[in-house]
Structure 1
Amino acid sequence: MTLKERDKKHLWHPLTQHKIHPEAIPITKAKGALLYGEDGTTYIDGIASWYTAMFGHCNDFILHKVQQQMQQLDQIVFAGFTHKPAIQLSEALIKMLPDNQEKIFFSDNGSTANEVGIKMALQYHFNKGEKRNTIIAFEDGFHGDTFGAMSASGLSVYNGPFEDFFIDVKRIPTPNSKNIQSVLEQLHTIIKSNEVAAFIYEPLVQGANAMHMFEAEHLNHILRICKEHKILTIADEVMTGFGKTGRDFASDFIEEKPDIISMSKALTAGFVPMAVTSCTQETYDAFLDDSVGKAFFHAHTYSANPIACSAALAAIELLQSDEIQNNIQRIIASHKTFNAQIKAHPKVRSTRQKGVIFALDLHIEMDRYGKKRYKIFNHFMKKGVFLRPLGNTIYILAPYVITPKELKKIYEAIAELLEKV
């Protein structure tokens, strides 16, 4: 019996309607930017497996560091204990993060990183004796699948059955040069009419929202108003963090720095699950009290897992290396060249780029997970390229180690699609 046949017996895959799409593609090996199927087919991983394996699959440098750590300390409770990898990782992250960040809280995935940030913000005001129970978020943003993070997310395709159970969230449009004044007016109205605890946002690029991009200048206006009203700001850098926008964090482009930052995905380079929520000293200080009840009672069994910490430390070391930084600039330049070649194509409605993130919208109407979308997906897979269209949006977010030849093959597969659509 093949892996594909065995898979269908017991497994339930995410974001999948199994009645329509009953089969998953078995992958038996991965190295660099390549995935190897059970049938011998090779695929170029054009999205770094949901933006995690940014340094390539099974990176030898990270693998060596993880193997060393596995022989020293595998897992230890992080409540009451500590260890060197967690301490070193906290020090490395604080050096990278915006200057106002001081404290590091560990969890285990991007959704829980945002859940932690939302709970921190709500309890911050509670501990100060203020009843603030409203969150502000962007329309069509996505912050995860746990209830707080899902409440803040505006994509109904994910949220439909659960909306009656959400916390109170008010939404504003993402800003642009045409609507910025209207957005700021809406923001003022919400603040005036509600007890707002926090504003959560994906800085500059909304990943699940078809890589929608907006300007730092406009976001800065929103953050400034929030700070004037003592509303904590939460930057969801789960997707954008660790070099993807051309800087360590998207928040580096923005003058007003967030009070809280959530991180995951590329944090551990795709090796093991882990997430981090960082915050300012002022945020942390609101939880210091003689009363145990004012402590932050949130925990994950694998918080600060030593193996995950060692993978993250190795990933940060690679990110800061000349080789990876040069690769990032090479990919950025390559995307710009490709964009110049295809942006005027009649089947291309629009294109956009931020750092190594490149996206184009096809000039056709289609459902996010409809039949047309799967035809496009299958086109790429037949060409040996793994891209995951978001409706009519095709995007590239490949590993930093992708070769020029592999990247060219992705471009060629997209160009061929444009002639077929």
Structure 2
Amino acid sequence: MNPTHLPQGPAVRYEGDVLFVEDVRVADLAREHGTPLFVYSRAAMLAALSAYQRGFAGRKARVFYALKANSSLAILQLFARAGCGFDIVSGGELERVLAAGAQPADIIFSGVGKTRHEMRRALELGIHCFNVESEPELEVLNAVATGLGVRAPVSLRVNPDVNPLTHPYISTGLKGSKFGIAHKDALRAYRQAAALPGLRVVGIDCHIGSQITNVTPYLDAMDRMLDLVTAIEAAGIPIAHIDFGGGLGIVYNDEQPPAADALWQRLLAKLDARGFGDRQLLVEPGRSLVGNAGICVTEVLYLKPGEQKNFCIIDAAMNDLPRPAMYEAFHQIVPVQRRAGAAMVCDVVGPVCESGDWIGRDRALSAQAGDLLAVLSAGAYCMSMASNYNSRGRAAEVLVDGSQVHVIRERESIEDQLRNETLLP
């Protein structure tokens, strides 16, 4: 893709040859805050959210942000202030959303491996509901709830066996997936849940995968879900809400995902046609709200020509941007200041001592040591998956709001990393 046409919308753009996030020069941010540096656009996040809100206008529907995509406190605070609930998958995420100002009633707890301690804490707080992912989990949650003298609100996550046509690692709705209760077992599991004294059935849930760019898997999953709702309610178990999960993809390179409002026009039309248009709807988007709101700014350290490959070595690495190493994922990489001159085809790699530490392969770049590059579409599954591999400190993060810049995470120091470790006596 021509770097003049960036995938991130007007919030991240070139003015002449200079890259901006909203009204701020990216080079100025790097100069002040160092690199690697994650930069997010407030306007881009709220614009992505507004597409869902437009799609749901006039409906009983609510967005629960899936914070595994990016769990930085200020971003959670932004979505809480915009009226979102939150989809969590751990006790740590529970405490994060509370610290960001969310109310317990705004929280859905998903995940295949909830512990008794996590269940107890969530029940004591009074969260909105649990998305239960197995029949044994129903029994454990019932035991914890009865021990507290409460009834746990539950929605069962059903695995509809629908291919989301995405990467195998982020396909979650197929028969071989660890997630959810098999479609063929769902009615039995609902009867089990309804019979347990510590549980209160409130809904049904599915989530078929992530980075989905085709409408068809959503339509197929909806049909299978609505068939189940009909069967479950025929068995005398009312379903108050239907949760269709998240997974809508973004543009990294040349993908063409539907806009959120266009997707939901199609899905709501099917709901109406099947007589479920008045139901309470929940969705759990993550990547589609934050992915194209963020970039990672990095400095070129060395250019290293080779016999078979040329390398552009940068100061960001797989610990900062894990997606390429994990999924062979593609991120556009563009100059912060475009320069004239011949481009060199090279692999863009980090300093970590792993052959898998690459950010982009076979990229044509006109760059020199000391230049700044921007790794695009870095708002999702980058900082939230970052690590301290090679004892590298995690990057700083800033949020841009027009011409204002807010530091939302300080750069991690070696003192921060060593603080909780002790030497032997």
Q: Normalized against structure 2, the TM-score is what?
A: 0.31
TM-score, normalisation: structure 1:
0.31
**Greater strand proportion:** 2
| Higher normalized helix content (fraction of residues) | 1
